[in-house]
A and B are shown apart, each in its own frame.
Chain A
Amino acid sequence: DAGVTQSPTHLIKTRGQQVTLRCSPISGHKSVSWYQQVLGQGPQFIFQYYEKEERGRGNFPDRFSARQFPNYSSELNVNALLLGDSALYLCASSPALALLDKDTQYFGPGTRLTVL
């Protein structure tokens, strides 16, 4: 089975532009989470979606938004890009949202966003 896939792999944008990142979860997984990993730091939680609804949001400005589609894939949108948005954006999927023992998150390879 394919793992979590993300596109594009790399992206270069300029300040003020908008960007859309895409994620396809593992087949059968209904929950998708997004994380931002700035170089040299641990990932920071941005959003979680389950069954097309937002179920959690981290401490990020409203310039960040996301959505989940009926096939459980997800998009992360960032408007009015700032230099500080340069980071690796990770998507993670899990089977469900409940606090199940085996509800592990599986990560994709990430999208490297560079803002110039």
Chain B
Amino acid sequence: AQTVTQSQPEMSVQEAETVTLSCTYDTSESDYYLFWYKQPPSRQMILVIRQEAYKQQNATENRFSVNFQKAAKSFSLKISDSQLGDAAMYFCAYRSWVEYGNKLVFGAGTILRVKS
């Protein structure tokens, strides 16, 4: 079974600065998807960024980018020019390529606090 580990329960960043959230995962599969989801205090889970394991290029979405290290099974999220609206719980998630269906396996989450 796949597992996802987020070792940082909480992180803080100054507004306009850059912060990196860590995620590692364990799998025996060679093809899969990785995601970062954001859950603000309003609770609605929002997709931030997605990475396909077969793609070597790191995904980027505006101020959000990932550092995908397949051999190390590491998938970190970098948030540049942090804004107050970035404050939320961030979840790293894994989705199998082989297993039927699109079940997501989530990490425990990292609370991101943004200071003004």
Interface residues of A (CB under 8 A from B): 3, 31, 33, 35, 40-45, 48, 50, 55-56, 58, 88, 90, 92, 94, 97, 99, 101, 103-110
Contact = CB atoms under 8 A, between A and B. Distances in A.
A31 B100 CA distance: 13
Contact of A90 (B4, B45, B108, B109): B45
Classify the secondary structure of B's interface with A.
loop
B102 A109 contact: no
Contacts of A58: 103
A33 B6 CA distance: 23
Q: Which of B44, B45, B100 has the most CB of A within 10 A?
A: B45
Contacts of B43: 88, 109-110
A105 to B, nearest CB: 6
Interface string B72-110: 000000000000000000010100010011111111110
Given A104-B47, A110-B43, A43 B102 contact: no
A44 B103 CA distance: 10
Contact of A31 (B4, B37, B50, B102): B102
B101 A42 contact: no
Contacts of B100: 55-56, 97
